[in-house]
Structure 1
């Protein structure tokens, strides 16, 4: 398996309660970890802060038990409060330089990149890895600018050494080609969260990345 030492987490699960319904989202998370998921991001766009915090605490207990990193989407203060491994932010969220200034090296920072010009942004100095979103358009993320495609991912790979996390319709049909195009990690939502067997789905995806 090709592993980037700067981001040694090839299979990345992005989870929310809604995306897992009608299954229990925490059960899905645990089954996915057992199946081979290397890192989990909690993304709950609609939750109020108290509900998000409660979920984050519960998921952190699970990820700590299995020894895998937890990333919190957008909610930087919650990520810091629960001592999450990292945070992932978009172009319109709390920006990486401000996060680094406030929290130092306490949080690993992922940043969603939407076009090539953003590689020239000053924010890149504070970014640890990039979310390339979406590779292919998807119903789970509608507020996107660029559909990168495989060609766009390859071009991005040629222009930066930052670890690249590919997201957007990643499944058994698309993950291997995306991985071979230079992604350092494949971020999955529906292919695991909506699977009747999240453990098996995770294991199958992980096998493709070898």
Structure 2
């Protein structure tokens, strides 16, 4: 099974009870990977959230990925970590987490895409495909053509993120991308399980 297919990124604006509810329902609906994100800089809160999500994911087969923080990933024994371009260098992160954990890297420019080929990572997150309210400091809006180019050029599995919803998902899938990362489309849905199931259905149909 492709673990990147339906990749949920949590919303760090949600309280812990809401966030864990969203994760539980989304996994029941077919989410294949969960990345916990904490942009507020509170490491204790990040660890508490990660441990709560890890408990929800126990025995589901869905990997827990920690955003940005290698120390938090190690502290909670997550399945992997996802780095941004301003985080710890990928080679250093790989040394710390070992060979068996997943290591993802956000790619924001064509130069970064090229540079990533020599790094000890497992997958890339291409950001942002479209402008989105959850990420305001984007360097490049890749669009469908840019995503298709990146999928062809990269030797790693590619996850698309940024402004993805039901209206553009068909075009995104057509690029041959390995997975889509969703935040608002699932986290802010009235019924996260139904939303996840809906997106999983669209992905499976292609």
- TM tier, smaller: over 0.9
Which of 9, 28, 50 pairs up with 2:4?
9
Partner of 1:152, secondary structure, is helix
The whole-number CA distance in structure 1 between the counterparts of 2:117 and 2:9 is 23
Which of 178, 194, 200 pairs up with 1:200?
194
Please tell me the root mean square deviation across aligned C-alpha atoms, in Å. Answer: 1.8
**Gapped runs of 5+ residues in structure 1?**
none
Does residue 182 in structure 1 map to residue 165 in structure 2? no
Match of 1:63 in 2: 57
The whole-number CA distance in structure 1 between the counterparts of 2:80 and 2:123 is 11
TM-score by length of 2: 0.93
**Gapped runs of 5+ residues in structure 2?**
none
Match of 2:152 in 1: 158
Which of 132, 142, 160 pairs up with 1:138?
132
Partner of 1:126, secondary structure, is coil
CA drift of 1:16 comes to 2.4
Match of 1:119 in 2: 113
Count of aligned positions: 204
Does residue 30 in structure 1 map to residue 30 in structure 2? no
Partner of 2:58, secondary structure, is helix
TM-score by length of 1: 0.91
Q: How does 1:45-64 map to 2 (within 5 A)?
A: 45-64=39-58
The whole-number CA distance in structure 2 between the counterparts of 1:114 and 1:23 is 32
CA drift of 1:155 comes to 0.8
